[in-house]
């Protein structure tokens, strides 16, 4: 399990009842973007609403706010 308490960029996207969390990766050159639906929202609803244009709009600097947060993620590797 990976744990970090820090300041992260985040946004609440009311349109799809979800939160976005941006995790800096590799010295701030890359980011991992996590889209987390609220418990009341199923993943299919989010998938149907998600487009490239909306993703770009939801992750612009004027939408994202810096918030102190505690983040727990399972360890994984990409191949």
CATH architecture of structural domain 2-73: Roll (2.30)
How distant, in Å, are the alpha carbons of 48, 72, 74 from that of 77? 27, 16, 10
Measured CA to CA, the distance from residue 73 to residue 8 in angstroms comes to 14
Cross-strand pairs, 54: none
Q: What is the pLDDT of residues 23-38, one digit of tens each?
A: 888 777 888 899 999 9
Q: What is the pLDDT of residues 1-16, one digit of tens each?
A: 888 888 999 999 999 9
Output the pLDDT for position 35.
93
């Amino acid at each position: 399990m990976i744990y970090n308490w820090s300041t992260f960029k985040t946004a609440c996207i009311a349109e799809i009842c979800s939160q976005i969390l941006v995790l800096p990766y590799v010295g701030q050159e890359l980011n991992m973007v996590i889209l987390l639906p609220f418990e009341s929202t199923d993943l299919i609803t989010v998938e149907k609403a998600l487009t490239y244009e909306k993703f770009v709009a939801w992750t612009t600097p004027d939408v994202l706010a810096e918030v102190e947060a505690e983040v727990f993620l399972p360890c994984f590797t990409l191949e």
